[in-house]
Structure formats: C-alpha cells, structure tokens
Amino acid sequence: MDKAQNIAIEPLSKVLGARIVGLDLRLPVDDSSGDVLREAFSYYSVLCLSDQEIEADHQADFASLFGKVDRSPHRPTDNPNERQSTRGVMYVSNIKRDGKHIGVLPDGEMHFHSDGSHRENPYRATSLYAIKVPNSGGQTMFSNLAAAYDHLEEETKKRLEGLTANHVFNYNKTRREDIPKNAEAYAEHPLVRTHPITGRKSLYLSRLMTARINGLEEKESEELLLDLLDHCESPEFVYTHEWVPGDLIIWDNRSVNHARKDFPREQERLLRRFTVSEPGTSDDEV
Ligand SMILES: [Fe+2]
C-alpha cells in the first residue's frame, strides 16, 4: 500500500468533528489517504477540509470516497460557472439570479434532522462546500447522537429496545404539529441504530422528520420523542460550525443530526451539496 499523503487530523470540538489538514482536493486522493479519511469519518462523524478551491467534480470525487454519490439530478444548477458534466449536485442558497432562485433553502432545515431519513435507504453522508457565507448567522449545528445515547438512563435505553419510528419528508414545515401523519414519502427505522463501522449505538430520530413511535399511543409517543429530542439537542452534544468560504464538510447521517441557523435574508449564502448513498441502493427514491 502506498504511503498516505501528509494528513493531520485535528479535533474540531470535544463532542465531535475533526479538521483534516494537508490535502488539496484538486489532486487525486491516494488509497492510503482514502483509508485515513474513512476511518476519521466513522470516528469523528464530521470532517472539515478548509481552504479548498474546488469545482463540483472535485467535490463529487471526494464524496465518492465514502460511498455511492448520487448521480441523479436534483434540479438544474442554473450556474454558468459549473461544468455541465456534473450531475447530482444541489445548491443550498437564498440567492436569486434573473428573478429565479439558484438553489433551495427550506425553513425546515433549521430543525435538527438526518438527510433522507424518510427514505427506506437514508443517505449515508452529506457533503457541503461553502462558496458564499453571510457575515452573521447561517452556521450549521451538528448533534452527536451516539453520545446522546450513551448518556441516557439505563431505564430509558431498555424502554427504547426494539422500538421503531416513522420518518416523513417534512422540509417545508417548521412546527411539529404540521408533520404529515400520512405522508406518501415515509420510512420506518429503529429508534436506536448500531454504527456498522464503530459498533457504537446511537439514537435515530429528529425534530423535523420523526413523526411517531410505532406501538405507542400518540400522546405517549410525542412525549417520549420530545424528551429524547431535547436531550439530543442539549449543548453538551452539539458542535456549531462557522462557515468560511472554501470549507468542505462531510458528515455521517448515521450518527449525527444537523440544523442550519437562521441568517439575515438580505445577505447571500451559497453552499454546494452532494449526498452519499449506501452502495447497492437505488437512486429512484424521492
Ligand atoms: Fe439537511
């Protein structure tokens, strides 16, 4: 095996995340470095590489190190600076050009969630690259769901054993009362999941997308969900990332939730997103 490029790993916070130093993603990542990145990704859940001057193809290549990059187009890019060959790219933005939004910015993102949890096969990872960020606000918060699970009372851990919950597509809703109970796009997942690489257990639920725990009365389900959601979102489990243009982040949707902070609408924010799926799964889900 070839020698890994000169990579340094620096923790971003006490709770999760690491900064990867020493890689220029305009250049190919060698096999050993790929192994180092994948191990750090599983262990730290969030990786940040700063000062990257990359185009969409570079970001897609980077995301491919962690699984299958979704190649089906989410929506037209409307961005003349991007190479036409790139598919599967989505822009997260409030910017308008010629009266048209060049990306999406649903309000629901401001609640913690895990991308694609409404799918039978949720996204393994999500990658965001910061092109333009506001002077204030617009940070992304990450919550460590494995640490949140570890800190539950033993009694609660027992209560959660074997329980599943329904997750729905809810990005345009901002209140839990508006969660559609009979949404077309929904999936049932265990409330506690075991990470396939680290073997760590974590909670799997979110304020934005988890509608209800199966097998419990509606009131009991909502009370338990709200208790668990408050617990997951307590500051001791959360890292807040202040974006700088050139930051590339990839996070593990199996072990962290994320949420965007609000920002002044007159300021511009533009991030480029790729999702990473489990290999062998279909691109056809909503
Ligand atoms: Fe998201």
Q: Are residues 200 and 180 in the same domain?
A: yes
Question: What separation in Å is there between the alpha carbon of 286 and the centre of ligand 1?
Answer: 15
Ion ligand 1: protein residues whose beta carbon lies under 5 Å:
115
Distance 7 CA to ligand 1 centre (A): 28
> Could you tell me the pLDDT band of residue 25, with boundaries at 50, 70 and 90?
very high
In this structure, are residues 220 and 165 in contact, taking their beta carbons and an 8 Å threshold? no
CA 260 to ligand 1 center in whole angstroms: 8
Distance 159 CA to ligand 1 centre (A): 29
d(CA 10, CA 192) in angstroms, rounded, equals 29
Q: What is d(CA 28, CA 187) in angstroms, rounded to the nearest whole number?
A: 37
Least confident range from 49-53, 107-111, 128-132, 254-258: namely 107-111
Other C-beta atoms lying within 10 Å of the C-beta of residue 110: 16
**pLDDT in the model for residue 77:** 46
pLDDT the model gives residue 72: 57
Higher-pLDDT residue of 158 and 80 is 158
Going from the Cα of 142 to the center of ligand 1, the distance in angstroms, rounded, reads: 10
**Ranges assigned E (strand) in 60-200:** 68-69, 90-93, 96-97, 100-101, 125-132, 140-144, 164-168, 186-190, 192-194
Same-domain status, 262 and 221: no
Q: Which residue has the tokens 């901002």?
A: 174
Does 79 reside within a domain? yes
Q: Does the pTM exceed 0.85?
A: yes
Q: What pLDDT is recorded for position 1?
A: 45
Whether residue 31 is found in the same domain as residue 166: no
For residues 131 and 150, state if they share a domain: no
Q: How far is the CA of 80 from the centre of ligand 1 (A)?
A: 25
Given this model, what pLDDT does residue 170 score? 72
CB atoms within 10 A of CB 230: 10
For 61-119, write each residue's pLDDT tens digit: 999 999 999 755 555 444 544 433 344 688 899 998 888 888 888 888 899 999 999 99
Q: What is the Cα–Cα distance from 202 to 256, expressed in whole angstroms?
A: 9
- Give the pLDDT confidence score for residue 15 in this predicted structure: 98
Residue 162 and residue 102 share a domain:
no
Is residue 193 a part of any domain in this protein? yes
For residue 45, the model assigns a pLDDT of 98
Q: Is 286 inside a domain boundary?
A: no
Under 8 Å between Cβ of 163 and 189: no
Domain of residue 93, CATH code: 3.60.130.10
Cα–ligand 1 centroid distance for 14 (angstroms): 23
14 with 129, same domain?
yes
Q: What percent of the chain has pLDDT over 90?
A: 75
**Considering the domain boundaries, does residue 272 fall inside one?**
yes
Domain count, the chain: 2
Give SS3 for 270: strand
What separation in Å is there between the alpha carbon of 229 and the centre of ligand 1? Answer: 16
CA of 116 to the centre of ligand 1 (A): 8
Does the structure show a pLDDT above 70 at 169?
yes
The pLDDT score that the predictor gives to residue 81 is 47
- Note whether 69 and 200 are same-domain residues: no
State the pLDDT at residue 29.
Answer: 95
Range 268-286 average pLDDT: 84
153 shares its domain with 181: yes
CA 3 to ligand 1 centroid distance, Å: 35
**Which pLDDT score, from 0 to 100, does residue 78 have?**
47
Give the E-state strand segments of 50-93 in sequence order: 68-69, 90-93
Range of the domain at 47: 8-109+121-136+240-277
| pLDDT at residue number 88 | 66
In 25-58, which positions are buried (b, 16+ CB within 10 angstroms) versus exposed (e)?
A: beeebeeebbebbeebbbbbbbbbbeebebebeb
The answer to the question of residue 3 being in a domain is: no
Mean pLDDT of 193-217: 96
pLDDT > 70? residue 148: yes
Report the pLDDT value the prediction gives residue 80, as an integer from 0 to 100: 44
Position 183 confidence tier, pLDDT thresholds 50, 70, 90 = low
DSSP output for 109-146: GGS-B-TTTTSSS--SEEEEEEEE--SS---EEEEEHH
Cα(27)–Cα(69) distance, integer angstroms: 18
Same domain, 35 and 125: yes
**283, part of any domain:** no
Clarify whether residues 172 and 128 are in a common domain. Answer: no
Distance 30 CA to ligand 1 centre (A): 29
130 and 250, same domain (yes or no):
yes
Distance 114 CA to ligand 1 centre (A): 6
The residue assigned the tokens 């191990």 is: 39
pLDDT at 58 over 50: yes
Q: How much distance in Å is there from the Cα of 108 to the middle of ligand 1?
A: 9
DSSP label at 23? -
Together in a domain, 29 and 131: yes
Is residue 215 a part of any domain in this protein? yes
Task: Report the mean per-residue pLDDT for the chain.
Answer: 89
Domain-located, residue 88: yes
Output the CA 105–ligand 1 centroid distance in Å. Answer: 10
What is the distance in A from the centroid of ligand 1 to the CA of 91? 12
